[in-house]
Structure 1
Amino acid sequence: MREESMANETVGFIGVGLMGHGMARNIVEKGYPLTVMGHRNRGPIDDLVKRGAVEAKTPREVAAQSSIVFLCVTGSREVEALVRGSDGLAAGFKPGAIIVDCSTSDPNSTIALASELAASGVGYADAPLGGTPVQAAEGKLSAMIGATDEVFARIRPVVETWAGKIVHIGGVGDGHRMKLLNNFVSLGYAAIYAEALTLAGKVGITPETFDSVIRGGRMDCGFYQTFMGYTIEGNREAHKFTLSNCLKDLTYLESMADTARVLNPVGNAVKNSFALAVNAGGAGPEDYVPHLPVYVGRANGIDMTPGKLRAKP
């Protein structure tokens, strides 16, 4: 199946950032013809070109050279601009092409774009990601895919180059719906951890003592360990997912809940925790989810910077 797919598919990739670079590298190294779009950060582009990729200047050029185009950008606003722009993907696609949106996007936007493109014979899949940049480079990400059975069958061999776990969630939009639910759970934990650590500090319990109880117990998990990598070890890059992207995803979750007419009080509380952080100075490209306790602590008059809190004498 892989050899047949490689013979028939040409792949485009837009968004070779923290996650996208590793994904695109696996695609080209595992034999697929790859076209990537230029970016102001030349490092990943130059690396991919050295490995055999071809560089294009516009989304339209990428579409004209590709039967499947992967997008790995910030969210729906960026995806819509890439598709609908005057020199966008829609202007360059041939009938039978497919877009695979690996961003975390608003399902309402995803469904609207898929409907527009279907009129031109272009397929659509949403394939948001689970994992880290390290797993992207290793080809061990997870992908939750929303697509028709036909589209899923075509894109799966390419997705297998960078994903170790692939789940066909359902139709178009369902991948993005599941990703928002996944992020709601993980970011909900982050908000709880941040508030619990702050309260612990206020009553004289250090992060190290808090961690000694949670770690290895029933409430321990992989997300907890990467989240605490900053508070306990001072590793600013323990989990490179920005606070701004967290807030964006929780805003999409709110929109999804509104569309479904579902009460979402916990989701809104989690969103407000991240809104507090972003509006208090955590909107930068290197302000990541494990830094949330610093902002929650600051709002409560306590410095949660790693190493600042000491045990009682």
Structure 2
Amino acid sequence: MTVQANPEQLGFIGVGVMGEPMCRHLATKTGLPVLVSDTNPEPVRRLAAEGAIEAAPDRLGAEADVIFLSLPSREALEAVLFGERGLYRHLKAGQTVVDLSTTPYAYTLDMARRLQELGIVFADAPVMRTRAAAQAGKLSVPVGASAEAYARIRPLIATFASDIVHAGGIGAGQVAKLLNNMVLYETVLALGEAYAIGRKVGVDTQRLFDILSTGSADSFALRNHGMKAIVPQAFPEKAFPVTYARKDILYALELAEHAGVRASGARNLLETFDAAIEQGYGGEYAPAISKLFLEG
């Protein structure tokens, strides 16, 4: 499948919390026209003020050489790509579609197959790190793609990411992202338990977590989710919520089932997320699961 060497026009669909800053970096750093589309007009207007071009999905699908998708779920991806008014109606052979979303592994393979049947080049490039990292252009992105496709899209991804790795063939990017989040939130769960235990026996939890950071329990999760959210019990609703984290763990469990692995830690984590949602914490920042261990 031929990959066009030098894109002349880019497209971006889905400019939410993460998508908007990524699209902004593309529009301000590549020197290429960037067509942008979203059901919410406000971020589109902000991006248009900085050089992006508001476009209906059909125009974007027909004209953009490389199309980035940053969408919240497989259902949203399916609707945008293959729904009643999906992009597939307007795409043409040689275009490239890059999925920046967190997407189930099996669905990624199926999506890639359907696009390839249309002559479309596909790459999965789910983004890792925070909203602040997206705004700073310092995301981490594992990419699943052919070597040729990776070489083409890497300079574009580099406008919003500081760490980019060719993870392997199609689907490998999603494997890396899903397992990253599985390990991260299993660690967050352990931190929530440690916090509750320490607090209930009367230990200063800030001091406790400071001590953990000097030992073998030190981690990104401890220094960010633990010290910045769990210790102060601060769980803003505009950060990555319990419901989003649950979705990623559900996808990780689907991957584990596909691989024939009984991921007991992830199963326990999913049950914890479900309990947190039942308690009304679903919209809060995902480390809010720590509240469960303080109850009762």
Residues of 2 paired with 1:268 and 1:41: CA distance? 38
User: Which of 278, 285, 290 is the aligned partner of 1:288?
Assistant: 285
Give the distance between the partners of 1:202 and 1:41, measured in 2 at CA.
Answer: 48
Contact 1:132 1:239 (C-alpha < 8 Å) held by counterparts: no
Q: Deviations for 1:124-167, whole angstroms, at most 9, x for unmatched residues? A: 11001111111112111111000011211211111111111110
Deviation at 1:41, TM superposition (A): 5.4
Report the 3-state secondary structure (helix = DSSP H, G, I; strand = E; otherwise coil) of the residue aligned with 1:136: helix
Structure 2 vs 1, CA of residues 272 and 147 (structure 1 numbering), >3 Å: closer, same or farther?
Answer: same
Q: Which residue number corresponds to residue 16 of structure 2?
A: 17
Which digits, 9 at most, give the CA deviation of each residue in 1:249-288, with x for residues without a partner? 111111111111112111111221112112221222xx11
Correspondence 1:185-264 to 2 at 5 A: 185-227=183-225, 228-233=227-232, 235-237=234-236, 240-264=239-263
Aligned counterparts of 1:39 and 1:187: Cα–Cα separation in 2: 30
TM-score normalised by length of structure 2: 0.92
Q: Hey, what does 1:305 align to over in structure 2?
A: none
| Equivalent residue, structure 2, for 1:28 | 27
Mark the CA change 1:279 to 1:238 in structure 2 (over 3 Å): closer, same or farther. Answer: closer
Conserved 8 A contact 1:76-1:105: yes
**What SS does the corresponding residue of 1:130 show, helix, strand or coil?**
coil
Identity of aligned residues (%): 33
Q: Which whole-Å CA distance do the structure 1 matches of 2:150 and 2:222 have between them?
A: 33
Gaps of 5+ in 1: 302-313
Q: What is the rounded CA distance, in whole Å, between the counterparts of 1:244 and 1:167 in structure 2?
A: 28
Q: Give the Cα separation in 2 of the matches to 1:38 and 1:173.
A: 25
Deviations 1:222-273 (A, max 9, x none): 3212212123345445992211111111111111111111121111112211
- Alignment size in residue pairs: 291
Residue 181 of structure 2 aligns with an amino acid whose one-letter code is: N
Structure 2 SS opposite 1:195: helix
- For 2:41 and 2:184, the matched residues in 1 are separated by 30
Q: Per-residue deviation at 1:13?
A: 0.8
Equivalent residue, structure 1, for 2:276: 277
Letter of the 2:126 counterpart? P
Moved over 4 A (4+): none
- Contact 1:33 1:53 (8 Å CA) reproduced: yes
Indicate conservation of the 8 Å contact 2:192/2:230, yes or no.
Answer: no
Name the amino acid aligned to 1:140.
K
Q: Which moved more, 1:201-210 or 1:124-133?
A: 201-210
Q: Is the 8 A contact 1:97 1:123 kept in 2?
A: yes
Cα root mean square deviation, aligned: 1.9
SS of the residue 2:231 aligns to: helix
Letter of the 2:247 partner, please give it. K
Q: What SS class does the counterpart of residue 151 from structure 2 fall into?
A: helix
Query: How many angstroms does 1:95 deviate by?
Result: 1.0
Aligned CA distance change for structure 1 residues 281 and 199 (closer, same or farther; 3 Å): same
2:266 maps to a residue whose letter is G
Task: Give me the whole-angstrom Cα distance separating, in 1, the residues matched to 2:32 and 2:220.
Answer: 33
The yes-or-no answer on 1:105 pairing with 2:103 is: yes
Change (3 A) 1:117 1:102: same
Mapped to 1, the partners of 2:76 and 2:143 lie a distance apart of 20
- Measured in 1, the distance between the counterparts of 2:46 and 2:232 equals 32
- Is the CA contact (8 Å cut-off) linking 2:12 and 2:69 kept in structure 1? yes
Deviates more, 1:167-176 or 1:213-222: 213-222
Alpha carbons of structure 1 residues 280 and 61: separation in structure 2 relative to 1, 3 Å: farther
Distance 1:279 1:104 in 2: 24
- Structure 1 counterpart of 2:136: 138
- Cα displacement string for residues 172-222 of structure 1 (whole angstroms, at most 9, x for unaligned residues): 111101111111110110111111212222323242232232133332233
Residue deviations 1:284-303 (CA, integer Å, cap 9, x gap): 2xx112222123323xx2xx
Aligned AA (1:230): A
Deviations 1:71-121 (A, max 9, x none): 111122211111111211111111111111111110100100110111110
Amino acid at match of 2:50: R
Residue 47 of structure 1 aligns with which residue?
Answer: 46
Equivalents in 2 of 1:234, 1:191: separation in Å? 14
Cα shift at 1:168: 0.4
Q: Which amino acid aligns with 2:116?
A: A
Change (3 A) 1:296 1:13: farther
Instruction: Tell me, yes or no, if the aligned pair for 2:142 and 2:164 is still in contact at 8 Å.
Output: yes
Which secondary structure does the structure 2 equivalent of 1:167 belong to? strand
